[in-house]
Structure 1
Amino acid sequence: MIIDPVCGMEVNEKSQYKTMYKGKVYYFCSSYCLKEFQKNPEEYLRGGPKGMPHGH
């Protein structure tokens, strides 16, 4: 099971929304969550998912 690190939703590894950060691939439910993660990845990796971001 893969969890979107921004909103906490379960996502499929075939998701088109993904990025690599520090050698690991992260998957997202939407382009919005991907963009939020890219703004400040450490915030989500340290604090965990924050729930549905505003504007999701």
Structure 2
Amino acid sequence: MRAEEIDPVCGMRVDPKTSKYKVLYKGKIYYFCSEACKSEFEKNAEFYLAHGPQGMPHR
């Protein structure tokens, strides 16, 4: 495992050892900087995996 992962929603670097936000999707664990990014990924994971980070989600 790498020391840092990239949040697939906003592009921020995330430390998997300390992140409280993660999702197992299609056999891979994705880490997030916030609940907002995690929630956005769960709504539309395929979009973020196909298009890459889009910045912080708007509320």
Query: Shared fold (TM-score greater than 0.5)?
Result: yes
Structure 2, gaps ≥5 residues long: none
Query: How many positions carry a matched residue from both structures?
Result: 55
TM-score, normalised to structure 2, is 0.88
Percent identity, aligned pairs only, is 64
The secondary structure found in structure 2 opposite 1:50 is coil
RMSD (Å) for aligned C-alpha atoms: 0.8
Counterpart AA for 1:28:
F
Question: Any runs of at least 4 consecutive aligned residues in structure 1 with deviations exceeding 3 A, and if so which?
Answer: none
Residues 5-16 of structure 1 aligned to structure 2 (within 5 Å):
5-14=8-17, 15-16=19-20
In 2, distance between residues paired with 1:53 and 1:44? Answer: 12
